[in-house]
C-alpha cells in the first residue's frame, strides 16, 4: 500500500501538468477494461455506448493537447525565425568585420616590427642568400664593396642571366681618388681591429683605394657581359659605418661586428625609408660614367693595359705610383675577391 501511495505521489505532479493527457490515458484504460468484461456484468449495449462516448472524449482531449502544444511552439518558432535567423546575416557580417580587423591588426603588428636583429654570421649569410633569391634589383651603400664583388654581384648576375631577366644594381662606395676619405675609412677599420680581416689583409689607405677601384672595374666587366644588367656606381666623399644592402624582398644593414646585423622585410616602414635614403644618397654621389662600357672593352682576364686604359677614359687615372703589380692586384680584387663571410670569418665585407 505504501508503495502504491508513493507511486501516486510521484505521478501526481506530472498528471497535474498534463491533465488532458492523464484523463485521456485513464479513459483509455477504462474503455479497455470495459471491453474485456463479461457480458453478464456489463451488457454489450452499455459497453458500446460507453466505448463510443469515451472515444469521443479521448479524441477531444488529444485534439486539445495538440492545440496546446502547437500554441506553446508558436512563440519559440517565431523567436527562432524572427530573432536568431533574422539576425544571422548581421552576425555573419559582424564576424567578417572582426576577421578583417584581426588581419589588419596582424599586418600592423608585423609592420611595427621595424627591424629584426641577426645575432650570428650564419644568420647574416642566410639573410643575404634570401635577399638575393629571385631579386630584380640591388642597392648597396658602404665602404668599398668587398662582399658585393665577391658574392652579391656575380651571384645576382648569374641568376638573372639564367632566367633571362633584367637586373638593376646601384652601388655607392667611397671615392678612390679622394685620399682623405680613403685614409678615414682605413683608419676607422684599423681602430676596430688591427688584425687581418676575413680576406686575410689588413686595412691601409692604399688597400681602401684599390678595393674601390676594383669595384668600379667589376661593374664595367659585368656590364659588358650581360646586356640586361643596368648598373650604376656612385662615389662618395664621406664614409658610413653601416653597409646597406637592399633587394626586392628585404633590407640588410651590417656593421663591423661579424655577429650582428639588422634586417627589415619589404613593404615595412623601415624598408621603404631605407630605400628612399639609398636613392637620395646615390643621386648626390659622383657618378661613374658606366655608359662608356662599350668604348673600353675588357678581356675575360683584363690585361694591365686594358685596366689602365679604362680608368684613363673615364677620367679616373690610376695613381702614377702604381706599377704592374698594383694593377694586377686591382684586377684580382675585381674578379676574384675573397668572400669576407667565408670561414674563418673575422670581419665583414666592406
Task: List all residues 6 or more positions away from 119 whose beta carbon is below 8 Å from its beta carbon.
Answer: 259, 260
pLDDT, residue 346, reads: 35
pLDDT, residue 169, reads: 98
pLDDT, residue 347, reads: 38
pLDDT per 10-residue tile (average), the chain, 350 residues: 57 59 64 61 62 64 66 60 64 77 65 76 92 96 95 96 96 97 95 84 95 98 97 97 95 88 92 95 97 94 96 96 96 92 46
Cis bond before residue 344 (omega within 30° of 0): yes
- The model scores a pTM over 0.95: no
For strand 167-174 and strand 137-141, is the pairing parallel, antiparallel, or unpaired?
Answer: parallel
Alpha carbon distance 61, 284 (integer Å): 100
pLDDT, residue 128, reads: 95
pLDDT, residue 129, reads: 94
Strand residues in 119-161 grouped as ranges (E): 137-141
Helix, strand, or coil here: 294? coil
261 strand-pairing partners: 118, 254
CB 155 within 8 A of CB 337: no
Query: For residues 16, 20, 21 and 22, what is the CA-based torsion angle, rounded to 10 degrees?
Result: 50
Determine the straight-line distance between the first and last CA of the chain, rounded to whole angstroms.
106
DSSP secondary structure of 122-147: HHHHHHHHHHHTT-SEEEEESSS-HH
Task: List all residues 6 or more positions away from 100 whose beta carbon is below 8 Å from its beta carbon.
Answer: none
pLDDT, residue 29, reads: 66
CB atoms within 10 A of CB 12: 11
pLDDT, residue 14, reads: 55
Alpha carbon distance 44, 50 (integer Å): 10
Amino acid at each position: 500500500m505504501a508503495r502504491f501511495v508513493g507511486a501516486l505521489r510521484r505521478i501526481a505532479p506530472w498528471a497535474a501538468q498534463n491533465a488532458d493527457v492523464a484523463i485521456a490515458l485513464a479513459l483509455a484504460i477504462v474503455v479497455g477494461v470495459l471491453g474485456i468484461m463479461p457480458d453478464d456484468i456489463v451488457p454489450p449495449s452499455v459497453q458500446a455506448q460507453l466505448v463510443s462516448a469515451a472515444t469521443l472524449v479521448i479524441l477531444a482531449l488529444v485534439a486539445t493537447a495538440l492545440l496546446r502544444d502547437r500554441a506553446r511552439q508558436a512563440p519559440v518558432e517565431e523567436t527562432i525565425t524572427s530573432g536568431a535567423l533574422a539576425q544571422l546575416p548581421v552576425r555573419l557580417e559582424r564576424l567578417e568585420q572582426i576577421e578583417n580587423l584581426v588581419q589588419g591588426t596582424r599586418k600592423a603588428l608585423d609592420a611595427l616590427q621595424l627591424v629584426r636583429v641577426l645575432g650570428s654570421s650564419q644568420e647574416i649569410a642566410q639573410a643575404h642568400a634570401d635577399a638575393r633569391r629571385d631579386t630584380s634589383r640591388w642597392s648597396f651603400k658602404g665602404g668599398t664593396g668587398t662582399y658585393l664583388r665577391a658574392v652579391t654581384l656575380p651571384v645576382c648576375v648569374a641568376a638573372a642571366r639564367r632566367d633571362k631577366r633584367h637586373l638593376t644594381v646601384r652601388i655607392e662606395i667611397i671615392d678612390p681618388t679622394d685620399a682623405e676619405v680613403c685614409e678615414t675609412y682605413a683608419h676607422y677599420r684599423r681602430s676596430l681591429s688591427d688584425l687581418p680581416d676575413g680576406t686575410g689583409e689588413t686595412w691601409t689607405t692604399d688597400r681602401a683605394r684599390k678595393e674601390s677601384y676594383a669595384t668600379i672595374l667589376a661593374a664595367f666587366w659585368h656590364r659588358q657581359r650581360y646586356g640586361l644588367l643596368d648598373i650604376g656606381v656612385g662615389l662618395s666623399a664621406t664614409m658610413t659605418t653601416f653597409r646597406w644592402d637592399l633587394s626586392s624582398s628585404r633590407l640588410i644593414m651590417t656593421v663591423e661586428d661579424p655577429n650582428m646585423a639588422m634586417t627589415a622585410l619589404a613593404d615595412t616602414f623601415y624598408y621603404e625609408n631605407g630605400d628612399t635614403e639609398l636613392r637620395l644618397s646615390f643621386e648626390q654621389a659622383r657618378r661613374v660614367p658606366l655608359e662608356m662600357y662599350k668604348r673600353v672593352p675588357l678581356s675575360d682576364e683584363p690585361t694591365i693595359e686594358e685596366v689602365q686604359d679604362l680608368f684613363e677614359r673615364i677620367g679616373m687615372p690610376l695613381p702614377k705610383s702604381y706599377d704592374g703589380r698594383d694593377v694586377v692586384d686591382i684586377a684580382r680584387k675585381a674578379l676574384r675577391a675573397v668572400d669576407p663571410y667565408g670561414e674563418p670569418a673575422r670581419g665583414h665585407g666592406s
